[in-house]
Structure 1
Amino acid sequence: MKVEKILQVKDLNISFHTFSGEVKAIRGVSFDLFKGETLAIVGESGSGKSVTTKSIMRLLPEHNSEIKSGEILFNGKDLTKLKDKEMQKIRGHDISMIFQDPMTSLNPTMKIGNQIMEPLIKHQNMSRHAAKERTLDLLKLVGIPKPEIRINQYPHQFSGGMRQRVVIAIALACNPQILIADEPTTALDVTIQAQILELMKDLQKKIDTSIIFITHDLGVVANVADRVAVMYGGKIVEIGTADEIFYNPQHPYTWGLISSMPDMDTDDEELFSIPGTPPDLLDPPKGDAFAARNPFVMKIDLELEPPFFKVSDTHYAATWLLHPDAPKVEPPDAVKRRQNQFNGLTGVSVGTASLEKGSQSQFPGIKEGK
């Protein structure tokens, strides 16, 4: 059975014009989102996660941002070409967003009932009475007790977890086809985090929406994602199923992220920390953006940007280490443990990847090492 692509992002390039110059924030990002799936986008601060998803909603600041090239295709329409009035019909109706901090995304001067009713009246043309009934149903759906009382209360009368549930209710009000969750559990303690994640998984099954989940917390990703895209320096550097990214990562940056996360098998070994800082996107590096922080860097990393190498039908990574002529390197112990588990579960050993079709086939300097 063929799975429907609900969103296609193709070779997206976004810049910000600042006093210091042009910041090339997004550099050739491409990915698909399928109906009913959860795609997690992970990476450290400044990697381009939020800029990518805000561009889908067309919420980037108008005064200094520019979509230089690329397409964002939703239901056959290129969202980058739509006027603001056309986007207003899509925002909140077809594509909704849950923001990081519910206290700043809710209006402190409005009762939460009115805030949930607003998109229903605007997009669904409901009467106030019908919108109020639907709001009560939504409050029950997201697990807020005594909705008849809560509907008339203000945001400051709710706890952090309850405010986030209200934000989710607003986002889900019109049964959107795509829900973008921008680090929705960052400001919450771990117990409430787990409740919110469980709630989102349950709601996804009920309304069959597709979710793009932005986070820097790999532990969160393991619980919610079907597929994972790893971003670094304004680019996607690895993409695959959640199991492939967690148990068979191929990019050195993903190795660093995995190794910096404690798990049940972590003994007294010191957790890994990725050295250095992210690249300056005012002047992006010529070759691999991760080269300056990569302990396995080769000469070619400094000269040529790596293409995507195919690890499996669903797993691709942009690193020269996957080239057949590259020297074999040993990943960190935490990654090797996971790869052994992956091999045991799938019966597939970690081998040489193939070059993605359409890329160059000859790469001078790959054998020259460091």
Structure 2
Amino acid sequence: MKRPPRAGFIGGGFMAAVHTRASRAARGHLTALASSTPERAQRAAETLGVERSAPDVRSLVAAGDLDVVHVCSPNRLHTEHTLAALAAGAHVICEKPLATTVADAERLVRAAREADRVAAVPFVYRYHPMARQARALVADGQLGTVLTLDAGYLQDWLLDPEDTNWRAHPEAGGASRAFADIGSHLCDLVEFVSGQRIHRLAARTRTVFPERGGIRVTNEDTAALLVELGNGALGTLLVSQLAPGRKNSLTLELHGTRRSVRFDQERPEELWIGARDGSRLVLRDPDTAAPDSARVSVLPPGHALGYQDAFTAFVTDVYDAVQGANPEGMPTFADGLRAARLTEAVLASAAGRGTWIETAPATEDRT
């Protein structure tokens, strides 16, 4: 396929806006959009610049004119909508969490494999150039052996009991909220940058407000984890959607036998590198960066790249994969399944009041 991929979108909210902007920048053809009602689909298509609206998801995929479908619907609908898109022959980008249960995530991995379609999950923080630069430092041995790590993902958008969202509804968002929504990003970045899997974890979770906007809440507001990586490194992870003043604070700090490195998503143009004899800040520069970092560093130094740029780089990789390429580090449904398994382990550990749960992957799932 040499022409621009024809993209369809399921959903019309915030994430659909992010996906359509990325698709346009990646030279996709914004062909069709479906939402929860025909009226909402029409409004969203007009607002987001999509060629046409579809009355429902069945009509969207049945038209047969889409190369890639972006699934941006509520979590509980991901499995249904992804299966429909795959059955229609489309490649799929499905928002995380890939599914609200491990069984459904496994089902989607199998379906994508059997359909022989590109199937990706937007763990887009991998696409910050300086996150990839940190990964290269670890891989090159410049940190030495990683001994410990300290990571967190903090937000404040659900700080007050009056704050509500469909994600707080277990039927729509799933059994886990804070961890499945943002903790999954954090764990993916830990494993991606460190090059190590989380082999065991112990977790505690807390639901601070049992009711939001008249809805009984059972999924968590916060989660705290102890983790052990495959090489024995120990770490702490803190996830919260109730941290005043923290808007989207994703941080990862790795400590090796020679150096430390810290990446902060709210300061994406820099890395902090620590050593016993002094510390320094390294600014993004594609001319001196590792090749994989330079590949996604599309602007010269001093021209800041941010979240939307990372998302665009991800979608560009997916569209290139649809054309037959094999982009380095593209997150697939296998990574979405990994996140579902870690989420299940967090909930199981928390239910056991911090019991250690083994999470080493027995096999590597591939789409």
Note whether the superposition's TM-score is higher than 0.5.
no
Taking structure 2 as the reference length, the TM-score comes to 0.24
Higher Cα Rg, which structure: 1
- Greater RCO between the two (CA within 8 Å, min separation 6)? 2
